[in-house]
Amino acid sequence: MTRITDLPCEVISTVLRHVGKPKDLFSAVLTCRHFCASFQENPYVMVDIVRDQIAPALLPYAVAVLEASNLDLLTDETTQALLDQLREETELPSTPRSRLLTMPLSWLADMSRLHSVIHELVTIYANSAWEHLLSNLSSSAHLLAGDPEDADKGGPRAFNDCLSLSPAEYVRFCRAFYRAELYFCLFTAPADTRGDPKADPDGGIVAGVAFLQTLPLWENEQLGSVMEFLGLQFSKATRDVLAHDVQFGTWQVDYVYSGVLNHERQTWISQGLSFVYHLMMEPSWDVKNESLKRTYGAESSFLSRTLFYMYEEVDISVKDAKKQSDSNETYAVMFRPLDPRHDSDQGPFKAWWAAYQEMNIFALIATHKAGFREMAFVFWDEDRLQRYNVLELFTDTAPRSELEMEDVRSEILAMEASHRARKTVWQRGGRGYWSEDDDSRVVWTGEFRR
């Protein structure tokens, strides 16, 4: 009987090309010497696997993030050169295969792992956003528009549909996460920076603002939406640690405030998408605790804060800026025409316009729109928005987001009380898990006891 190991190396290489991901390739190669030899004869099979895994429109971003994370020296010149290269490659159908062929196999594996993380984050965000969107639609008077019989045809009243992202929507979601990760890699400042981000040139924030200002307004809103999502997921994943660990109480770590004012949270999120995803998936309280302490006080990109402040000096209404975009270079970039090679769908712009057209530019990344970001309102195709009669929803006041649902004042008072109590426990030699009603899990290491 013919065995698979009797097949020539060329055939085995063809088989290996279809395993799906580099980690699966490595597993297959380790199964027998013949597979290993076949891979050694054609190691570039991994390039084809990565190209199959990552959409052509996303590959330039995947490469840029990888190169940014591996730069030996991060300077204004190296940063700008990388961004220039990214801009050039996004105008092409895809990153040339020759670029990938020159990369170490470990880089390709890292690229694949990051994309897998982004894919999982996109899946979580998109499904959660779709549920929030349908929930708000179901309680909205806007649903009365349209023929009720359309429900049988998948029309405005068919609100129990399972989400299936279009290819354009999937790329749009992924691209925003890649841009966030690229920002985390390139633009950092000391974690204790507290002032205006544009007033800290040594931290690279000025360059970060320049990078963001090359994007149209609704694509920066996509970045703001991603940061809202990451903030919510981080809060859910870490609150039990930050609210109960004795040492974090001594450090007075804020686990209540959301958004730009929570510097510790923004610093942790800046450690990257893989770091946040690890915290989301990690079941162990101790492992999360160790990860958070290891990165406490690290450098931060302050992406949320930069987005919040970057337009603060642009005192003009969105409508007036749009009218002047044909003659004013600054506003022309803000309202950059859609490029068919980039993203020609009008859905994100129309949703953004519905929400922001009556506002001033300086207030664009205002936190009171967080409820719309929770619905991923600037990511959906126009066809989806029209099918579900969604756009009118975004002209109303945004609902409170999940992070805003709490009674913040009572939460703050409780947090401050826990800080004081945990500091006392720390001074008496207590470590580990503290609870207001039960300190049996505190480990006493000093000479003092309860």
Tens of pLDDT, residue by residue, the chain (450 residues): 566 665 556 565 566 666 666 666 566 655 666 566 555 556 667 788 888 889 988 999 999 999 999 887 778 888 888 888 888 888 765 667 778 888 888 888 899 999 999 999 999 999 999 999 998 888 765 444 444 444 444 444 445 567 899 999 999 999 999 999 999 999 887 655 544 444 444 444 567 888 898 899 999 999 999 999 999 999 999 999 999 999 999 999 999 987 777 889 999 999 999 999 999 999 999 999 999 999 998 888 888 888 888 888 888 889 999 999 888 888 888 888 777 667 789 999 999 999 999 888 887 766 678 889 999 999 999 999 999 999 989 988 888 777 765 567 788 899 999 999 999 999 999 999 999 888 889 999 865 554
Q: Please give the pLDDT value at position 447.
A: 58
Nearest by Cα to 219 from 401, 121, 120, 351: 351
Tell me how far apart the terminal alpha carbons of the chain are, to the nearest angstrom.
74
CA distance 244 to 257: 16
Pairing verdict, β 430-432 and 442-444? antiparallel
Locus of tokens 């959301």: 258
Q: Please give the pLDDT value at position 88.
A: 82
How crowded is the C-beta side of 164, counted as CA atoms within 13 Å?
3
Q: Please give the pLDDT value at position 120.
A: 97
Angle at 12 between CA 7 and CA 16, to 5 degrees: 160
How crowded is the C-beta side of 71, counted as CA atoms within 13 Å?
21
CA distance 294 to 101: 35
Which tokens in the block code for residue 38?
């076949």
How far CA 378 is from CA of 297, 300, 372, in Å, comes to: 33, 26, 9
Q: Please give the pLDDT value at position 304.
A: 86
How far CA 8 is from CA of 26, 38, 41, 44, 449, in Å, comes to: 19, 8, 11, 17, 71
**Residue 311: DSSP 8-state:** T
CA 102 to chain centre: 28
pTM of this prediction?
A: 0.86
Return left, alpha or beta for 308; rule: phi > 0 is left, psi -120 to 50 is alpha, else beta.
alpha
Return left, alpha or beta for 237; rule: phi > 0 is left, psi -120 to 50 is alpha, else beta.
alpha
Q: Please give the pLDDT value at position 251.
A: 96
Q: Are 230 and 263 in contact (CB under 8 A)?
A: no
CA distance 430 to 110: 40
